[in-house]
Chain A
């Protein structure tokens, strides 16, 4: 017989004793033999029946001011699974007198004894509560607990639980599915990076916004006006800035080919250095190293609004024909996009920050939405780690889509036709993906 059930019965015995004698209980050794348990069960049933039979009398007794509440029953202590051996859970069935409309029960108190020592108060809990997590235990000790109903100054104790020694587990098997899926996705990311390094040709679809780049640069050349490039306001440690600079490499090469001017005010000194290197390299590739100058990139200030004011000034004075806004943007996104719009420039924007994307979409001609920015960067640079990650993430998305479709079909079939098989699949999938803590 599982210990929980034994305990449950032991708890019931405790209650019955209380009801009969009206005194608090002493520790009970749980019946160890199934037949004994059965006997106890019989006794409980008979008592319950007699209790029901006596109901009117009981209700009358309820109103007496000196009535003592019943203790909590079925007090069970269980080891919390998959921890470092530092938590046990105590659960109980609230006292039958614990009803929202009655005020007899003031709450519960939980007591613990470690290694057979004295019982110490752990916590006082509100009425209606039926669980306590004790997280101040160690695997080195053995514990027993009891719970008491509080009523004014009076407390009525439950039976004492079985002894428990918290156990620790090495691996949290509750999260096994999470682990498996994480490993599949991580594995495919690593695998694709490795493949890309080995020179495999990984396919990435065309990104619509990139087609517009050539056209935009061509337009600036025709009009004889400069091109402005803003890589966001974060530093080189942000992936969006890096993606912005990757695209800059491609843009700068085109600019060198067309012999147009580029202007790039930045808000971080590290970004300035990196941007200069990028443009210089592009000019070299285009075979025009002589045309490059450090003045193309200038540092303005780290201060958000100070930077915006300076960039606004440049826009109004120099009237660039094309503006690139690619990187991490915050509240300044809309100020920049608005000014760019007001001077009639073609604007190509991209950021992964969801709160700023709407403004770019509404005010710019082309916008790289979120991950498109990274995809564009991977596509243009062909860098193995970027390409590999992109493909690996696609595997993750594939799993997500598949799971959603499967789960949806299963749940829908189960609801519509009440077929157990589908319900089983639906429950299984839900178990795999849902990881809500209890």
Chain B
């Protein structure tokens, strides 16, 4: 038997043993998982970023001029490590402030452009979709356009907080919540699908790669 796969199988079954009940084997596997995954991340970030991008960026192996502005990144990074100390831990807020600011600046526009503006533009749909050649109405797409338009507007009405949900506005919000529920239903179905796939992957590892029972 392949020793590598055997080890992987033992670890797999060790984690699954939690399903019966919490037990020392599971907790041991969990502890190993935490250690190995922290080590994995640290190594990858060390070699692919710190060594490859930062260090060889500042001191290129081919002897060309280095990019010394990269030092700023490293200095900010080192400040981050001060968080481990309770006395001067506050200084770690500087790099954090940098990351938070940069992310806020980038997101502010990217989300606005891609998730608001372009979506609004794409919802300005013709409620009548006509076949260019024959000139007749394509009913499936016409209904689809209507569904999208009504769904988006009523959904926005539901999330509009400056007006009480009464009268026509309230009725629209009601339609909005129905649309949201169908949306969440779709998400629900897809999430179940996703979770089942994860299990299928492990099962196929156990029966195919390890035991070799399936061709």
Contact = CB atoms under 8 A, between A and B. Distances in A.
A and B touch in the complex (CB under 8 A): yes
Interface of A: 178, 181-182, 203-206, 237, 303, 305-306, 309, 354-355, 357-359, 361-362, 369-372, 375, 390-391, 394, 396-398, 400-401, 403-408, 410-412, 414-416, 426, 429-430, 433-436
A397 B160 contact: yes
A70 B149 CA distance: 50
Interface residues of B, number: 40
Interface stretch (B4-12, B59-67, B121-129, B203-211): B121-129
Contacts of B126: 408, 411-412, 414-415
Interface string B133-155: 00000000000000001001100
B104 to A, nearest CB: 12
A416 B165 CA distance: 34
Given A203-B162, A408-B127, A408-B149, 8 more contacts: A178-B109, A237-B100, A354-B187, A358-B185, A408-B125, A414-B126, A429-B124, A433-B120
Among B118, B120, B127, B163, the most chain A Cβ lie within 10 Å of the Cβ of B120
Among A181, A405, A433, the most chain B Cβ lie within 10 Å of the Cβ of A433
A416 B128 CA distance: 7
B162 A357 contact: no
Nearest to B165: A205
A434 B121 contact: yes
B47 interface: no
B197 interface: no
A397 B117 contact: no
A355 B160 CA distance: 22
A408 B124 contact: yes
B193 to A, nearest CB: 12
A408 B129 CA distance: 12
12 contacts: A178-B112, A206-B164, A305-B30, A354-B187, A357-B187, A358-B188, A391-B161, A397-B159, A400-B156, A408-B127, A412-B128, A435-B118
B16 interface: no
Contact of A309 (B22, B100, B162, B165): B22
A305 B33 CA distance: 12
Given A408-B149, A411-B124, A358 B161 contact: no
Contact of B161 (A178, A182, A390, A435): A390
